[in-house]
Amino acid sequence: MSSTGDSSEKTAFPFCSARCRAIDLGRWLSETYRIPGPPVEHEDEPARRAEEEPES
């Protein structure tokens, strides 16, 4: 006899439930989880830096 599992379990894979999947997604979106590497400069950052630098 094979166990195919609940369809909600299949949609949550590789997580144990849809709740755990949502919690993990929230952590990525809030930047709790980060992939290590060199800092990435966003397109609007140079403009903001120029505005913040005091004029000589």
Instruction: Evaluate the CA torsion angle 27, 33, 35, 39 in order and state its sign.
Output: positive
Residue 12's pLDDT is 84
Residue 56's pLDDT is 56
Contacts of 56 (CB under 8 A, 6+ apart): none
- Any idea where the domains of the chain sit in the sequence? 9-34
Over residues 1-56, the pLDDT tens digits come to: 445 555 655 788 999 999 999 999 999 999 898 888 888 787 775 655 555 666 55
Residue 1's pLDDT is 41
Asked, as a colleague might, if the bond just before 14 is cis with ω within 30 of 0, I would say: yes
